[in-house]
Amino acid sequence: MRRIIGLVIVNIIVIAVLAFATKYFWTKANLIVIADNMMLEVVILAGYTLLLIGGYFDLSVDGIAAICGVVLGLLINGGTNWVTAIFVGLALGVLIGIFNGVVVAKFKVNGLIATLTTWWICIGFSLGMTKAISPYNFPDAFQVLAQTRIFGFRVLIIYAIIAVVILSVILHWTRTGSRIYVSGDNQQSAELMGIDTVKLGIILYTLVGVLASFVGIMMASRLDAASPSTVDGMTLRVIAAIVIGGGSLSGGKGNIIAGVLGLVLMHVLSNAVIQLGISPYWQKAMLGSVLLVAVLSEKLNLKGAFKK
């Protein structure tokens, strides 16, 4: 709770400074742009927080989103009904998620290496199938799924809210959520308590897989094109936001709402680069510095707790 309050205060201060220092930051159009750009990342963040708390790691999210979007686009362009194409895309995400879970949770392959391999495979297939020519010109009914606006904001904000609410309830008010925390904190202790950590790991990877496929499909709907590069870098931004929100890369610690606030801070700072006329080449360096401060803060807090 202290981390959430702290991030709320930091966000308010940063937003207030930018509203005073720039002409266009505190305008409805700019706020809509910020919200639209981050909502699909919020969907991924909600599921990825559970995975990270459970002690697992996944670098394949961008690849899963890319290949599921591409497969959907190719199916639609090939004459398949868009509803059927969506189910195929989601099913592909589920299968890749299960594969990641089995390899990492059951066969104990290092999560970073295993999912990096999955990412390479997914991106490779995406580029190979499209030959750098993205499927496009999808049916209007399909485009409505991501392009519809509510009070000026894309309907994506509704999807993000649903994901955050449902997964927050699971994490904080169900036995499954408690098992995720226990498993991530100490897997051996969790197994002694009767928790099936292998099954739990597969479920968590499957969750991230299906959410990643959903993001790829919604991105195709939003842009009316399925490009393998549209979600490039999303995984690292989500991980950074979770860490800024107090999540631990070693597992057992994290909060979805705090992660969302961390993501808000990152997008506000990215927008500030544009508003202040700073070269966009400095954007990643600035966000990296924010992440470094968050990681060091976590380490210092852990050392302080240990000393006590």
The domain spanning residue 108 has which CATH number? 1.10.3470
Q: What's the domain count of the chain?
A: 1
Question: What share of the chain has pLDDT > 70, as a percent?
Answer: 96
> Tens digits of per-residue pLDDT, 258-286?
999 999 999 998 898 888 887 777 777 87
d(CA 160, CA 60): 20
| pLDDT of 240 strictly over 70 | yes
Establish if 109 belongs to a structural domain.
Answer: yes
Residue 198's pLDDT band (cuts 50, 70, 90): very high
Instruction: Decide if 308 is inside a domain.
Output: no
Task: Calculate Rg over the CA atoms of the chain.
Answer: 20
Decide if pLDDT at 296 tops 80: no
Q: Say if residue 246 is exposed, middle or buried (CB neighbours under 10 Å; 0-12, 13-18, 19+).
A: buried
The answer to the question of residue 306 being in a domain is no
> Can you read off the two tokens belonging to residue 221?
């709907």
Q: What is the mean pLDDT of residues 4-14?
A: 92
**Residue 167 counted as domain residue:** yes
307 occurs within a structural domain:
no
Q: Over the chain, what is the mean pLDDT?
A: 91
Helix (H) or strand (E) holding 212: helix 197-223
Is residue 295 one of the residues assigned to a domain?
Answer: yes
Q: How far apart are CA 180 and CA 80, in angstroms?
A: 39
- Of the chain, the end-to-end C-alpha distance in Å amounts to 21
What is the model's pTM? 0.94
Residue scoring higher pLDDT (250 or 138): 138
Would the pLDDT of 287 be above 50? yes
Confidence of residue 54 (pLDDT cuts 50, 70, 90): very high
Asked, for residue 240, whether it belongs to a domain, the answer is yes
* CA–CA dist 242, 265 (Å, integer): 11
- 305 has a pLDDT exceeding 50: no
Write out the residue range of the structural domain in which residue 35 sits. 2-301
Judged against a pLDDT cut of 70, whether residue 246 lies above it is answered with: yes
Position 191 confidence tier, pLDDT thresholds 50, 70, 90: very high
**Rounded (5°) CA angle 65-93-168:** 85
Looking at the chain, the whole-number percentage of residues with pLDDT higher than 90 is: 76
